[in-house]
Amino acid sequence: MSEIIVDRDVACELRDGTTLYANVYRPARGQYPVLLSRLPYNKNLPAFSHRYVDPFRLVEAGFVVVIQDVRGRFASEGTFEPLAQELADGYDAVMWASRLSYGDGQVGMFGLSYYAFTQLFALMERPPALKAIFPAMTGSLEADSFWRNGVFELVAAETWLLDSVAPDVLARRLEREEYAEAEKVLTKDLEEIEAWHHVRPVCDWPPVMKHEALQPLFQNFLAQRFREPIANHPEHMNGTYDFNIPAYHLAGWYDNFLGPTLRNYERLQASNPHQKLMIGPWGHGQFQPEQGERFFGLHAGGDAIDGQGDLTDQHIHWFRCFLYNESPGEEPPVKLFVMGDNVWREENEWPLARTVYTPLYLHSSGQAGFSSEDGVLSWEAPGVEPADGYVYDPDNPVPTLGGGTLFFAGRNAGPRDQRPLQTRPDVLTYKTIPLSTPLEITGWVTMQLWAKTSGVDTDFTAKFIDVGPDGTAYNLTDGIVRVSTAMPDADDVSRELLELEIDLWATSYVFQAGHALQIEVSSSSFPRFEPNLNTGSTMLESSTAAPVEQTIYHDTHRPTHLILPVIPRP
């Protein structure tokens, strides 16, 4: 293709008269399928507008590329109301794109994070021109981002609001001189955001309260009012999600949206067999082969997947299959990176059909045949054993150390050595003996936990870890459960024996010979999650906290254990 035209600020009028603006990359002549991406982070900034996808290569492959500012952001008109607005606006934008004079009437959508939400919510409105999507690292169809099992994901929410949303909100609502002063304050607060994470209640969070223009959006966000149109949407009310559309789901083992992305794949697969899933050893929007403190090999990166093409190539192949009716070939639908072995592998399904779900039990120290100062993990069920306990104090929560996080500037993410946390009295650790042969764990990981608390409400956390022969303890995946969410009908949780399930999401990891499996049990990971105040109130509306005594049982009648997706190996 000899010539590529870039049209800037192309107007798209919505049904209510609001105009959105887009940049269009297109061939100089002819009509082609349109690939649409809708974002709230400025279509004119290359680091955000197309990120890991090259629009010029998409045009060369026979597509028109449209990158649009969503309602109320940057060039587009209107007031920004996160998520909910993308239902009707998504439908209108898709149908507008299908009518462009240089389009052929077909539309595909692509993008990561919020740009993937815009795909899912447009899909819920079923625009007839939408033929295929490529959602990457995104939340669920329920739009429950920033909450996990009833727990507020504090650092992700505060970072997103202050870093990604606030600057343009202030720029649109303030006069130039006012904005110049507000921007200085905002910049200073962003530079000190780690200290601001400690401030409660969140409803009075000073970095927002300093700016009157931010307060309505912040209050609606905390109250989850933006979710109401989505929760009341007919697709949710009937629970079918029968969308019948090809979708390529891109995920990362250390992404903060890993669980929802995998469940989106499972749900959409039920109505359309043309689903594809790729899971790399990546963090949120981070496709480098080095994540956290580990390097997974050059072929782990998004620019040379398995030593072959990059993520733009994946988009070209996917959309040519469904917008040009090209054969997808015999390629299996799932491609995942197996950490530990550090290789890519193709699979026919997710979860893997050959999975053997196997319990791994917690024991007291010195049990299961070997001596240890810490607790023990064993494939054998426990007998008569004493419980373990600790005091959880919300004023001294366990610090977050890596994982699927969304910190400012990508800090504190990925696999990191957990040993600094394991000397704390409120962190219980349980470990197997070193393995004699490799063991593969690929799939969903859960914990069945029997516990007791002295509080009226509390949280429990679990973290799954690989311990190397040198003692390094790298986190793989983790989870949290809030008792009041898990047991909404309990009159007094402090009087109850708590039988809880902790969803640790998923991983794919080969524990090599000489390595050990480890689990950490505690009650907090701050500031990734808001600490439970143990009072029945949350950090969102209260500052008063109380320490509680936590008891973890692992005996014949209360056998706390992991359920691991073991993959048989030749």
Catalytic residues: 113, 255, 284
**In the 8-state DSSP scheme, what is residue 399?**
B
Cβ-count burial of 29 within 10 angstroms (0-12 exposed, 13-18 middle, 19+ buried)?
exposed
> How far is Cα 156 from Cα 529, in angstroms, rounded to an integer?
9
SS3 371: coil
Per DSSP, the residues of 29-81 read SS-EEEEEEEESS-TT-HHHHTTTS-HHHHHHTT-EEEEEEPTTSTTS-S---
Distances (CA, A) of 212 to 74, 83, 156, 170, 279: 19, 22, 22, 9, 41
For residue 190, with 0-12 CB atoms within 10 Å meaning exposed, 13-18 middle and 19 or more buried, which class applies?
middle
β-bridge partners, 212: none
- What amino acid occupies position 337? F
- Within 10 A of 353 (CB to CB), how many other CB atoms are there? 8
Cα separation, 169 vs 108, whole angstroms: 29
Give the side-chain half-sphere CA count within 13 A for 122: 35
For tokens 């109850």, what's the residue? 496
Long-range contacts of 309-313 (CB under 8 A, 24+ apart): 311/52, 311/53, 311/250, 311/287, 312/52, 312/53, 312/54, 312/57, 312/58
What is the DSSP secondary structure assignment for residue 532, as one 8-state letter? P
Q: Which helix or strand (DSSP H or E) is residue 269 part of?
A: helix 258-269
Report the alpha-carbon distance of residue 456 to residue 494 in Å, rounded.
Answer: 6
300: phi then psi, degrees, rounded to nearest 5: -85, -15
Pairing label, strands 130-136, 247-254: parallel
Question: What is the token pair recorded at 47?
Answer: 């680091």
For 273-335, give the DSSP string.
S-EEEEEEEEETTB--SEETTEE--GGGSTTSGGGS--HHHHHHHHHHHHHS----TT--SEE
Residues 414 and 48: their CA atoms lie apart, in Å, by 21
What are the two backbone dihedrals, phi and then psi, of residue 85, each rounded to the nearest 5 degrees?
Answer: -65, -20
Q: Which residues pair with 463 in a beta bridge?
A: 478, 520
